[in-house]
A and B are shown apart, each in its own frame.
Chain A
Amino acid sequence: MKIVTKEDYIKSLRDLKANIYYNGRKVEDATAMPGFIPHINSAAKTYELAIMPEYEDLMTAKSHLTGKKISRFTHIHQSVDDLIKKVQMLRLISHETASCYQRCVGFDALNALYMTTYEIDEKHGTSYFKRLEEYLKKIQEENFMLVGGMTDPKGDRSKRPSEQADPDLFTRVVEKRKDGVVIRGAKAHQTGAVNSHEIMIMPTQAMGPGDEAYAIVAAIPLNAKGITMIFGRQTNEERKIECGIDAGNCEFGMVGGEALVVLEDVFVPWERVFMCGEADFTGTLVERFATMHRQNYGGCKGGVADIIVGASALAAQYQGTLGASHVKDKLVEMTHLAETVYSGSVACSALGTRTKSGAYYPDPLLANCTKHNITRHIYEISRLAHDVGGGILATLPFDQDLRHPEIGKYVEKYMKGVAGVSTETRMKILRLLENMTGGTALIESMHGAGSPQSQRVMYQRLGKLPEKMKMAKKLAKIAE
């Protein structure tokens, strides 16, 4: 299997025959499932753009392992330039999809593991790094889609994994065999899982003494025996199934398309295990994965915000308010916020550093700031979009009303804006705006890549408060 085109990708998913449930029913063919098709189209865009000469500079990279041209989503960052190109690539794809295209999670997992397995081997004399390099060669050659599986259900958050009433609420090793391990548990909110080929499970948090069974990293095919995926419900997903104006963006997803991935005694051979019991490195791995994922958000959400700004301006134009000074000012503010989040992603990339493994790593404090800004600025951008778009965003009649033989004329007449723009065109842009600025789309900005509090914890650790106190003392001439 080598995936090059969108068609290759869809065929490979059809052949996978993973065990998936949607709204109480087993899915026989994921590629024919209307609820999945927008997410498949979004991920497919990463394949389509990579073979277009005008995008290959961002969408592809040269493998440091084989020297071959590969998808950037399977690349290990070899320079600061690579880190910046990652962010530029994400903005580009967002412009094409106005959605999440899901592949960054696996991308970030590979990079975080590359630098961490190198250091695990150095300390413990294990051979995870070599195994990972072999896995990388495979994914770079076959170009399959990998889910980065970090988040465990976690049960009672006040208790450690080994203290839970149900030990499976954190994913764990239940048996070690000569040829591999048996894993039980679940990964929650897994972006792109139902249209991916494999999952890289990782510990959800730093593990302490007694939690060694939970210090497990492994790559598992999503059609492996014992895996069940249950798709998560999203806001207005029935509209995607209708495929009309009301979906707003019926070709692509609203966010990534998330699933609960259940692992019921799944066997994984040793060559696919990249950590097993080294609890002392779980914190490092989680922090690195989080940093690399938080680096992304000014790129992807910045690109999505560009579309929201454009759609807001069109909505204003279609109702004759684009020239109003307060509308222009709101569009300026939205642009300011979008470029602010983008600049955060570029900045943490520009200050990236080389790790012992040779892979490059973004500045963790700035990456966390970037994601934290997303939890605020995307909400503010969306608030301003609602302000500019007007109450009609919430009260617009159905697409079918516009097409109705008796009442269609009323919708046509009373939903009309400026001359020269059809009611249908106006409705299309209002629905796009509605789709991108509410419900699931906003919650993803809040909690994707970690909830706001997890970034604030990083500020406490990385914010250099003692140094700042020293600087203040020096300027205030305080000697004690």
Chain B
Amino acid sequence: MKRVALKFCGGCDCTYDRAMQWERIRAEAVDKIQWVFLDDAPYDAVLMIHGCPVACPEKHLDPLYAKVLVSVNDDRTESRHIVAKLMEKVFIPHLVCGP
């Protein structure tokens, strides 16, 4: 099982239903991914679900996280593609705490 940290943006003015998109991804990832929060490091990858392309939480993200980050800004991308991207990510040992 991959260990993936989930992070939502704050949701000030979303262009789609982030919680629904998350439910679809979670359903797709059953038996593949163990979901944790950013504070629960270490993990293999980070999924960030943003309500719009501004993607606020990524503004101050350590560049190291780019290697393990999968970013979702809409509900047009199929959940199986998102899960496939997450499964490609590889754990980086020195990423021991959240951004």
Seen from chain A, the residues whose Cβ lies within 8 Å of a Cβ on chain B are: 53-59, 81, 85, 88-89, 91-92, 95, 303, 306
Contact = CB atoms under 8 A, between A and B. Distances in A.
B8 A59 contact: no
B74 to A, nearest CB: 15
B60 A58 contact: no
A95 B12 CA distance: 9
Nearest to A302: B13
B13 A92 contact: yes
B56 A57 contact: yes
Contacts of A53: 6, 8, 37
Interface of B: 6-13, 18-19, 22, 37, 49, 56-57, 59-60
A88 B8 contact: no
Given A53-B6, A53-B8, A56-B8, A81 B13 contact: no
B60 A88 contact: no
A92 B11 contact: yes
A91 B12 contact: yes
Nearest to A58: B10
Contacts of A91: 12-13
B11 A55 contact: yes
A54 B26 CA distance: 14
A88 B12 CA distance: 5
A54 B60 CA distance: 18
Contacts of A81: 59-60
Of A56, A57, A59, most B-chain CB atoms within 10 Å: A57
Contacts of A95: 13
Contacts of A306: 13
A413 to B, nearest CB: 36
B22 A54 contact: yes
Contacts of A55: 8, 10-11
21 contacts: A54-B11, A54-B19, A54-B22, A55-B10, A57-B8, A57-B9, A57-B10, A57-B11, A57-B56, A57-B57, A58-B11, A58-B12, A81-B59, A85-B10, A88-B10, A88-B12, A88-B13, A89-B12, A91-B13, A92-B10, A92-B11
Contacts of A58: 10-12
The interface centre, meaning the residue of A53, A89, A95 with most chain B CB atoms within 10 A of its CB, is A53
B77 to A, nearest CB: 18
A95 B8 CA distance: 18
A89 B60 contact: no
Contacts of A88: 10, 12-13, 56
Contacts of A89: 10, 12
Nearest to A79: B60
A303 B14 CA distance: 12
Contacts of B56: 57, 85, 88
